[in-house]
Amino acid sequence: MAPKYTLKYFNLRGLGEPLRFLFAYGGIEYEDVRFSFEEWPALKGSMPYGKAPVIETDGEVLHQTMAMGRYLARQLKLTGGDDWEAMLCDMAIDTVTDFRLQIVGYHYEKDESLKAQKKEVLFNETIPYYLEKFDADVKKNDGHFVRGKLTWADLVIVAIFEMLQDMLQVNFTEKYSNLKGIMDKVLALPQIKEWVEKRPKTNY
Amino acid sequence: MAPKYTLKYFNLRGLGEPLRFLFAYGGIEYEDVRFSFEEWPALKGSMPYGKAPVIETDGEVLHQTMAMGRYLARQLKLTGGDDWEAMLCDMAIDTVTDFRLQIVGYHYEKDESLKAQKKEVLFNETIPYYLEKFDADVKKNDGHFVRGKLTWADLVIVAIFEMLQDMLQVNFTEKYSNLKGIMDKVLALPQIKEWVEKRPKTNY
């Protein structure tokens, strides 16, 4: 039987990887379709709101990474034990999205002078500000993002951190032992470890 | 008894209003604390990640508008009939967030020349692109954002559209009758109508 899900994204980890981590963790079969930046302009018009990743399933085209991720997480019982914990997962993930948007806003800035300005703020203010708080959150939550439990927040955030570190060529965990702890823990999960070993090698 | 929830935000509709719509719709009592831009720098440090709105409840400080909104929506049975429909709500809301970020990125741009560039793209490309698709989505979904049902996607998106229209001084619905339909429908809900009539008047 053909896999139920087809993920379509660039040949990058990027925003595809949080979903690939969820598929891997859950042992959910999917087709991992990857396209190049050169192919993108011709494909963009076929995406629901001109963006990727999308997931095709049952003849429908889904979009919005975290909406799709939350759905998969619910199927995998990874949204915590109740609505409150599900919210705590969402809070952590949305905060990491704020952080990520600052980083990609710098990375893809085309104007050199603006990029230099953004770099200054990013490295001196934004990154230490967020990492310190994330580290404290993980400490307070007994080594996870939500209440000492493995949730999709852990999987998604570790996938994103790993990717952002490689995008910026920096190490987020050097000074933050709790972040190092949760990254090591997620990357040591057998299903994630297996996926990371076999996945296509990309810059980020 | 004191209300269980305290919402803290600027004296704006902004990102506070989607939550106020949910409180109003559900008849949930809350304290609507509003601060000025002048007061913000002194308050920012007390916010979990330096942002507002926050909701204080049971001694905890919650943040991230949509995470909090989704939690309230679940209590109010406004996330659709199952996990799939909950995902469809999230997809619509996250897409409106993408749209909103383009608009506020223009609105708060301080560099005049950059702002002029952003205006051009926003008004000629971004706004018509998104509105046309949103309108088609509402048409396909029988007058709502998700499958002909009233969900938190309707409440949140109408609150955001109303605010963005006033921020930009434009009318989103002139050419889009389905968007006009859902906006009229939400604003005619008795609890929302009552709230909109009595709420503090702000520019957006």
- pLDDT, one tens digit per residue, over B14-64 is 999 999 999 999 999 999 999 999 999 999 999 999 999 999 999 999 999
Pick from A64, A83, A98: CB nearest B90: A64
User: Which DSSP string corresponds to B10-22?
Assistant: ESSSTTTHHHHHH
Looking at the structure, tell me whether residues A57 and A90 fall in a common domain. no
Residue A204 placed within a domain: no
Residue B137 placed within a domain: yes
Residue A146's contacts (CB-CB under 8 Å, 6 or more residues apart) are A80, A85, A88, A89, A92, A153, A154
Looking at the structure, tell me whether residues A123 and A142 fall in a common domain. yes
Reported ipTM:
0.97
- Beta-carbon contacts below 8 Å between A and B: 71
Contact (CB<8Å) A67/B130: no
Looking at the structure, tell me whether residues B88 and B183 fall in a common domain. yes
- Residue B121 backbone phi and psi in degrees, to 5: -65, -45
Residue B138 placed within a domain: yes
Residue B82, amino acid? D
What average pLDDT does the structure give for chain A? 97
How far, in whole angstroms, is CA B143 from its chain's centroid? Answer: 18
Within 8 A of B73 by CB-CB distance, chain A residues are: none
Looking at the structure, tell me whether residues A63 and A98 fall in a common domain. no
In chain A, beta strands by DSSP E: 5-10, 30-35, 54-57, 60-63
Rounded CA gap, B151 and A144, in Å? 32
How confident is the model at residue A110, as a pLDDT?
Answer: 95
Please give the residue range of the domain that contains residue A173. 83-188
How confident is the model at residue B3, as a pLDDT?
Answer: 82
Residue B203 placed within a domain: no
Which of the 8 DSSP states describes residue B116? H
User: Of how many residues is chain A composed?
Assistant: 204
Rounded CA gap, B63 and B41, in Å? 17
Pick from B49, B70, B94: CB nearest A87: B70
Within 8 A of A49 by CB-CB distance, chain B residues are: 95, 98, 130, 133
C-alpha dihedral (A45, A50, A56, A60), degrees to nearest 10: -80
Is the model's pLDDT at B106 over the cut of 80?
Answer: yes
Within 8 A of A135 by CB-CB distance, chain B residues are: none
Residue B46 placed within a domain: yes
Instruction: Write out pLDDT tens, residues B127-179.
Output: 999 999 999 999 999 999 999 999 999 999 999 999 999 999 999 999 999 99
- Tokens 């899900």 correspond to A5
Q: Would an 8 Å CB–CB cutoff place B71 in contact with chain A?
A: yes
Instruction: Indicate the number of domains in chain B.
Output: 2
Task: Quickly state the pLDDT bin for B1 (edges 50, 70, 90).
Answer: low
A residues 74..103 contacting B (CB < 8 A): 74-75, 83-84, 86-87, 90-91, 93-95, 98, 101
What average pLDDT does the structure give for chain B? 97
Within 8 A of B94 by CB-CB distance, chain A residues are: 64, 66-67
Strand partners, B181: none
- Residue B142 backbone phi and psi in degrees, to 5: 55, 45
Q: Is A2 exposed, middle or buried (0-12, 13-18, 19+ CB in 10 A)?
A: exposed
Tell me the C-alpha to C-alpha distance, in Å, between residue B178 and each of A63, B138, B158: 22, 6, 12
Per cent of chain A over pLDDT 90 is 99
- A143's tokens: 């080594």
Residue B204 placed within a domain: no
Nearest to B166 by CA among B11, B5, B14: B14
Q: Would an 8 Å CB–CB cutoff place A46 in contact with chain B?
A: no
Looking at the structure, tell me whether residues A92 and A169 fall in a common domain. yes
Per cent of chain A over pLDDT 70 is 100
Looking at the structure, tell me whether residues A135 and A176 fall in a common domain. yes
Is the model's pLDDT at A1 over the cut of 80?
Answer: no
How confident is the model at residue B100, as a pLDDT?
Answer: 98
Interface with chain B: mutation pick from A82, A95, A96, highest number of B CBs within 10 Å: A95
Contact (CB<8Å) A74/B84: no
How confident is the model at residue B2, as a pLDDT?
Answer: 74
Residue A27: which CATH number?
Answer: 3.40.30.10
Looking at the structure, tell me whether residues B95 and B152 fall in a common domain. yes
Is the model's pLDDT at A10 over the cut of 90?
Answer: yes
Cα angle A107-A110-A112, degrees, rounded to a multiple of 5: 95
How confident is the model at residue A3, as a pLDDT?
Answer: 82
Rounded CA gap, B121 and B169, in Å? 17
Is the model's pLDDT at B82 over the cut of 90?
Answer: yes
Residue B94: which CATH number?
Answer: 1.20.1050.10
Within 8 A of B84 by CB-CB distance, chain A residues are: 71
Looking at the structure, tell me whether residues B50 and B70 fall in a common domain. yes
Looking at the structure, tell me whether residues A67 and A32 fall in a common domain. yes
Looking at the structure, tell me whether residues A149 and A117 fall in a common domain. yes
Instruction: Write out pLDDT tens, residues A40-66.
Output: 999 999 999 999 999 999 999 999 999
Residue A203 placed within a domain: no
How confident is the model at residue A194, as a pLDDT?
Answer: 98
- Residue A10 backbone phi and psi in degrees, to 5: -60, 160
Contact (CB<8Å) B71/A86: yes
- B88's tokens: 């469809």
Nearest to A175 by CA among A120, A131, A119: A131
The enclosing H or E element of A20 equals helix A17-26
Q: How many Cβ atoms from other residues are within 10 Å of residue A69's Cβ?
A: 26
Region A68-73: mean pLDDT is 98
Task: Quickly state the pLDDT bin for B66 (edges 50, 70, 90).
Answer: very high
- Tokens 């926050």 correspond to B54
Residue B171 placed within a domain: yes
Which of the 8 DSSP states describes residue B5? E
Looking at the structure, tell me whether residues B72 and B88 fall in a common domain. no
Q: In chain B, how many H helices and how many E strands?
A: 9, 4
Looking at the structure, tell me whether residues A96 and A167 fall in a common domain. yes
